[in-house]
Amino acid sequence: MDYFGEETEKIRGKKWNWKTFKSTEGYPVSDNLLDWVIGQERALNECYLCLEEWVHKLKNLEKEKWFEAWKNPDKEKPSVTRAAPPGPYLLLLGDPGTGKSLIGRALAVHLTELYKKQEIQLQDVVCWQNNLIPSEPKISSHSASEGKKIILKEKLKATKKLFLQKAGIKVLTYLMIVVALVFMFAGFYYLWLQNLQWGSNGLNAFGVPIQEAYGHDFAKYILDAFVSIGTTTFLPAGMMLMFLILVVVLGRFGMMGGAKGIGGAKATTVPKLIVDNSKKVAPFIDATGHGSAQLFGSIAWDPLQTGGLGTPEHQRVSAGDVHRAHMGILFIDEIKNLKPSEAVTLLTVLEDGQLPITLRSRWDEGNTAAMAVSTEPVPSMCFLVGAGNFDSIGQLHPALMDRIYGYGKVVRMNNDMPNTVENRRKYVQFIAQETSRFHLIPFSRGACEEIVSEGRRRSNKRDGLTTRFRPMISIVKTAATFAIKENYKTVERRHVEEAIESHCKTIQKQILEHQISERGKLLDIKPEGAKLGQIYGLAVVSDPFSGEMTGNVLTVKGFLEKRDNGHNNYLKGYYKVTGIAKGRKERFIIDSVAKVRSVILQKYGADIAQDYFTHIDFAQAYGVDGPSAGVTMTILLCSLIEGRPIRQDVAVTGEINVGVDGEVPVTAVGGLHEKIKVAEAWGFTKVMIPAKNYKHSVDPRDYSIEVVAGETLEDYLKQCLVDQQKPF
């Protein structure tokens, strides 16, 4: 196969010769995440279309001056539905590993470019204190990077005000200290004068000498003088000093405006920046698995959270994912897991483009004053990109699904892409991207070819390549680790082969293979010779959670005897199949059992349920289900009716169908790669598969076992049945 073509291609300004390149070294890897998305062209085109609609919507809002109305926190906030309709939204559905998350991140990059081209400004959101109703903080929205400027300006104003307050307090403090000292000086001065008057023994107000008036008791005299002088000097000075001491102590313990709030902020009237887009890059918010408080914002109320009971309401507001994704991408993987209440609230956001922030947590039922706090509407015009597996269709909230169908698009992610030269080159691009991302050594051309081959095998199509790249990343990393360990400069083909065969299997597949291996020790599987009444069929065992499959060999045995062969004629026929699933949900195998009876009747004119005692047993099997056992049972009965042994070195699979025009068709089944690999592992020399599977899914070069295609039952019988007289 010409894997990569022969021409020279110019990739991001660099010439790359596909015919002569020896390794991925030097491959020009793009910095744009959109270029990393491989095999999802249709999904990307739908995404681009939605983004164009989104930008048109924002331009219309600019014309309506919707953004201008949010600048003043004191004005009433507008309703978005008056200016623009809801939408668009995106729902990406597909198997894990197909690039849903990558597309979400890539769209944010593309949206940034569109905003620059269309001169659309991202927005910052600021939360302000409401002086009239503190429990209803005000909201304003401004052009990106303006929010920080506003906060800085308000902080400067608050700092200036605080400085003036502190300066005034200090001046007043010093003035009071000076006044107190003056009073105290005056008191001591008057006491000194009284002492002089005592020494001179002057006359008091009644003309009596002072010493005689007090009986020459100086202590009594000076105490009376201190009382009369202290009431007007020492007492006022002491009261001023005590007041100053009280102010200092309260200030030291944070009881005079020193309480700290969220993020260490002090209780202040300075607004809080709750959405910051100063980087001027369209937001990408991954809200996968987030609860109500994370999705829609919340009000902190616990003193241990806020930093103190004095923290004002507007400082306790925290924006949610829908607010931080304003004018950006809100990505929710496994969107089916949203609770009904969360889905309904998300509907409000999508319809209105705005949502107030209030208390949202598991403590909503608690009695706390924070339950009364609710901001003005906060802008939350986000571009929703939901993602999930295909089962999300039936599990997503009906109202939310209806909005997405009505105002957005539901996009199916491709599980595979055509096996063309162009797409094989994209595999080389994928390998180069991952080696660049994980700082690995280059991959040789042969190693690239082997990864392309593994991508083809995993697609279950001969002309397809899987687009589930996440499991392929493990192969790239593991193979590179082997090469690095061996001091190789490049990763070789054998490193990739070893990674695929021995190391890069999911835990579910490892468990399944271990169970089959342990059980295989108890099975009697001998792929040699020929036997009458025994055949080996192929099946797959699936993990119910991951969908991972591994092959399984089934030993099927049969017994057939005519009803009048040694028995009385009144005995009726009998048709029983054991070892199969018999529940209400397992209908495939039951249908196959019924079709086998009709096919034998068409071919031989005999009813195995009336003319024979028929028993087919899936030996040592438990609950076998699926249509692929049909051809196995039919060949077994043909062998018994014709008396021809079955080759034991041939394993078979295929769905049998009722014949038309004398032919009994064998139609396609699933899990071919796993079935062929298990037959190869058990040592079978040949495997028979439906012709349509062979044309669509199988490349015989992938296997050491001979793979033979059959369109009809006769094709199978020619390969499986032998004449007793003729060795095979």
From the candidates 444, 592, 628, 639, give the one annotated as an active-site residue: 628
Q: Are 258 and 306 in contact (CB under 8 A)?
A: no
Q: CB under 8 Å to 653, separation ≥6 — which residues?
A: 537, 538, 539, 628, 631, 632, 669, 672, 675, 687, 688, 689, 690
Whole-angstrom Cα distance, residue 640 to residue 611? 14
Measured from the Cβ of residue 703, the count of other Cβ atoms closer than 10 Å reads 15
DSSP letter (8 states) at residue 430:
H
Q: Are 344 and 396 in contact (CB under 8 A)?
A: no
DSSP letter (8 states) at residue 414:
P
> If you search the block for the tokens 């990505």, which residue do you land on?
331
Distances (CA, A) of 568 to 559, 565, 608: 19, 8, 18
Give the rounded distance of the alpha carbon of 9 from its chain centre: 36
Closest CA to 542 of 516, 568, 576: 516
From the candidates 266, 336, 461, 675, give the one annotated as an active-site residue: 675
Whole-angstrom Cα distance, residue 127 to residue 138? 6
DSSP letter (8 states) at residue 465:
E
Length of the chain: 728
The CB-side HSE value for 232 (13 A sphere, CA atoms) comes to 7
- Phi, psi (degrees; rounded to nearest 5) at 363: -95, 15
Whole-angstrom Cα distance, residue 21 to residue 411? 36
Q: Are 666 and 628 in contact (CB under 8 A)?
A: no
Measured from the Cβ of residue 411, the count of other Cβ atoms closer than 10 Å reads 23
Q: At what angle do helices 469-485 and 421-437 cross, to 10 degrees?
A: 60
Angle (CA) 143-149-150 rounded to 5° is 85
Closest CA to 164 of 172, 153, 176: 172
Whole-angstrom Cα distance, residue 643 to residue 410? 57
675 classed as catalytic: yes
Whole-angstrom Cα distance, residue 715 to residue 712? 5
DSSP letter (8 states) at residue 76:
P
Residues assigned a catalytic role: 628, 675
